């Protein structure tokens, strides 16, 4: 009896594994994790922008752009970090302290910088009186060139260009009235000094590095014209542009269209080739191409909106390239994200995460099959636990029929009660199907009925035994007692 009882009681699985609610909890956690991943991937990307100089037109443009992105709740946002100079902003990009930066390549070209947009070009504009007979840059030999300095890099820019033509700079203080061949005297001028310097012939021409369409360039050309007696001037061209760019790849060729500085008379009367520098918005190569594509798109699409508070936005343009390969292998390479926008190949959400979606679907199917198998396994374990009780009740039915005493029936009744209590506790923690419950009820009723029958049979047998014993006792007494006579 004890061995049968021990065999019938099997250890139950941990409640954590067999409760159906835990499967629902795991499913809910999976859905929550998926939702969290979608929210994380779709949240706005914040890019840090290094801007220099802090009071320049470029800083005003970037500030206006950052505010517009925030108001529009776009998928990319900008955090502006101002610097004193473009050299510092470029150094911040190279040092990884910024994602984007305003860069002037001829001042400092970061090794990891890739172009998003040309914020504006700055060309070398040289105006000279027509009587000076200075038509091209090499004609400046033995001349005095005034320069309106707007940036610390303007003098090195001009010095490098002079060196390309084997022209050296001469000190104005020590210069003879007639300069030595191969030398050019540089005279720094303030904008207000240009007209007088030309009129007094202290300089033969005046240069300024600025965008040809800017107010500074226009004012400088007009000042030279006012200092010339006949009001006739020429704009000096810079030949050999391709060769210069080969030597100085951070520069770029610039064409000044005819009539840029006025139409009556037309100044210049024909287009002028020169060289210049550019202010560029650059990004580290490691910055997401999706974020860069979005930033580039909004920058150009909102050009008119930004020009209201930052007029320099009108001068923005895309970097020149013919093919995608040329764009990423140019002298000043472009960021792949910007190229995606220019080539209209921006990635959608599905394009961006196609690989992850495929992997999720692939492994998700496997995980789903595993969960289904686990569910079936747990369901079978639940059925096995009930089957153990049912099998034990069927064994008890046979044991009841073979019971020979009340003590055995009492032990069977106690075990049956324990099995019923175990089933009740089990049913309170998890769901049992109706068919199984019906089978359990039938088995328990059958056991109780069998125990009742066994008890009645044992009671009848004991009664008959007691009645036969009394009869035998009476017969013995009658044989041993003498007659009444």
Say how far apart CA 15 and CA 381 lie, in whole Å. Answer: 11
Q: What is the pLDDT of residue 17?
A: 45
Tell me which residue of 358, 360, 346 sits closest to 37, measured CA to CA.
360
In this structure, the answer to whether residues 327 and 286 fall within a common structural domain is yes
191 in the same domain as 109: yes
In this structure, the chain runs to a length of 485
- Measured distance CA(195)–CA(31) in Å, rounded: 75
- Please report whether residue 464 resides in a domain: yes
Query: Is the backbone of residue 133 left (phi > 0), alpha (psi -120 to 50) or beta?
Result: left
Confidence of residue 449 (pLDDT cuts 50, 70, 90): confident
202 and 337 within one domain = yes
- Selected residue with higher pLDDT from 367 and 156: 156
Domain C-terminal end among 327, 352, 377: 352
Domain-located, residue 65: no
**How big is the chain by its Cα radius of gyration, in Å?**
49
State mean pLDDT over 165-186: 76
Question: Per the domain annotation, does 220 fall within a domain?
Answer: yes
Last residue of a domain, one of 293, 319, 352: 352
Residue 466: its pLDDT value, please? Answer: 58
In 3D space, the residue among 322, 245, 267, 290 whose CA is nearest the CA of residue 125 turns out to be 267
Omega cis (within 30) before 53: yes
Question: Can you give the residue range of the structural domain that contains 182?
Answer: 100-352
pLDDT reading at 329 higher than 90: no
- Over 90: is that where the pLDDT of 384 sits? no
* Beta pairing partners, 253: 275
Q: Is residue 56 part of a domain?
A: no
> Please, where are the H alpha helices in 43-170?
57-71, 86-94, 154-164
Asked whether residue 343 falls in the same domain as residue 444, the answer is: no
Give the per-residue pLDDT at 306: 95
Judge if 346 and 374 occupy the same domain. no
Q: Distance of CA 234 to CAs 126, 128, 184, 230, Å?
A: 8, 5, 19, 12
**Measured between alpha carbons, how far is 310 from 60 in angstroms, rounded to an integer?**
6
Kindly state whether residues 12 and 141 are assigned to the same domain. no
pLDDT(225) > 50: yes
Where is average pLDDT lowest: 69-78, 118-127, 200-209, 390-399?
A: 390-399
What pLDDT sits at residue 484? 42
Same domain, 331 and 239: yes
Tell me, what's the pLDDT at 169? 87
Final residue of a domain: which of 321, 352, 383? Answer: 352
One DSSP character per residue, 196-208 reads HHHHTTS-SEEEE
Within a domain: 363? no
| Higher pLDDT, residue 404 or 103 | 103
Q: Are 282 and 389 contained in the same domain?
A: no
Q: 437 and 333 share a domain?
A: no
CATH number at residue 304: 3.40.190.10
Same-domain status, 348 and 375: no
Same domain? For 169 and 294 the reply is yes
What's the pLDDT score for residue 376? 62
Angle 188-190-195 from CA coordinates, rounded to 5°:
100
pLDDT digits (tens, 9 = 90+) for 239-266: 998 899 999 989 989 999 999 998 777 8
> Does the structure show a pLDDT above 80 at 101?
yes
pLDDT (average), residues 335-357: 70
Residue 282 near residue 103, CB atoms below 8 Å: yes
What does the pLDDT read at residue 235?
Answer: 95
Residue 115 and residue 337: Cα distance in Å, rounded? 10
* Cβ proximity of 185 and 170 under 8 Å: yes
Same domain, 180 and 152: yes
Distance from C-alpha of 192 to C-alpha of 219, rounded to nearest angstrom: 10
Q: How far apart are CA 211 and CA 194, in angstroms?
A: 18
Burial pattern 449-472, b for ≥16 Cβ within 10 A else e, equals ebbeebbeebeeeeeeeeeeeeee
The domain total for the chain is 2
Q: Is residue 256 part of a domain?
A: yes
**Within a domain: residue 90?**
no
Say which DSSP state 269 is in: S
Q: What mean pLDDT do residues 166-189 have?
A: 77
For residue 109, what pLDDT band results from cuts at 50, 70 and 90? very high
- Domain-located, residue 146: yes
Nearest to 123 by CA among 67, 234, 207: 207
Predicted local distance difference test score (pLDDT) of residue 5: 43
Please give the C-alpha separations between residue 436 and each of 5, 391, 440, 442, in angstroms, as whole numbers.
22, 13, 6, 10
């Amino acid at each position: 009896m004890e061995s049968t009882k021990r065999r019938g009681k099997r250890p139950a699985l941990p409640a954590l594994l067999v409760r159906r609610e835990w499967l629902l909890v795991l499913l809910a956690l999976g859905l929550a994790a998926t939702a969290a991943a979608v929210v994380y991937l779709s949240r706005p990307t914040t890019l840090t922008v290094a801007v220099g100089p802090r009071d320049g037109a470029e800083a005003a443009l970037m500030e206006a752009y950052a505010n517009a992105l925030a108001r529009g709740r776009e998928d990319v946002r900008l955090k502006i970090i101002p610097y004193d100079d473009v050299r510092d902003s470029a150094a911040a990009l190279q040092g990884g302290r910024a994602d984007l930066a305003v860069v002037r390549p001829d001042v400092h070209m970061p090794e990891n910088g890739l172009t998003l947009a040309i914020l504006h070009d700055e060309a070398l504009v040289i105006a000279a009186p027509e009587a000076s007979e200075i038509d091209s840059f090499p004609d400046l030999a033995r001349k005095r060139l005034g320069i309106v300095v707007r940036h610390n890099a303007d003098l090195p820019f001009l010095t490098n260009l002079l060196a390309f033509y084997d022209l050296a700079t001469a000190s104005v203080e020590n210069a003879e009235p007639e300069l030595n061949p191969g030398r050019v005297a540089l005279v720094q001028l303030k904008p207000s000094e240009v007209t007088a310097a030309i009129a007094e012939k202290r300089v033969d021409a005046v240069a300024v590095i600025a965008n040809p369409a800017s107010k500074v360039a226009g004012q400088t050309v007009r000042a030279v014209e006012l200092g010339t007696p006949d009001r006739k001037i020429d704009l000096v061209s810079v030949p050999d542009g391709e060769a210069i760019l080969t030597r100085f790849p951070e520069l770029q060729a610039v064409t000044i269209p005819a009539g840029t500085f006025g139409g009556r008379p037309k100044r210049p009367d024909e287009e002028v080739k020169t060289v210049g520098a550019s202010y560029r918005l650059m990004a580290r190569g490691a910055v997401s191409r999706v974020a860069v594509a979005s930033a580039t798109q909004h920058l150009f699409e909102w050009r008119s909106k930004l020009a209201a508070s930052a007029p320099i936005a009108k001068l923005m343009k895309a970097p020149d390239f013919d093919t995608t390969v040329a764009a990423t292998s140019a002298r000043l390479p472009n960021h792949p994200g910007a190229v995606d926008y220019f080539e209209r190949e921006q990635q959608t959400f599905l394009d961006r995460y196609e690989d992850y979606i495929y992997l999720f679907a692939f492994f998700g199917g496997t995980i789903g099959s595993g969960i289904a198998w686990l569910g079936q396994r747990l369901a079978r374990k639940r059925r096995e636990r009930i089957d153990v009780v049912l099998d034990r009740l069927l064994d008890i039915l046979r044991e009841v029929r073979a019971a020979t005493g009340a003590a055995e029936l009492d032990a069977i009744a106690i075990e049956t009660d324990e099995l019923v209590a175990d089933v009740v506790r089990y049913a309170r923690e998890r769901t049992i199907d109706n068919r199984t419950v019906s089978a359990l009820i039938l088995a328990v009723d059958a056991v109780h009925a069998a125990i009742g029958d066994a008890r009645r049979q044992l009671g009848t047998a004991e009664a008959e035994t007691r009645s036969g014993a009394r009869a035998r006792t009476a017969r013995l007494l009658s044989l041993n007692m003498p007659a009444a006579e």
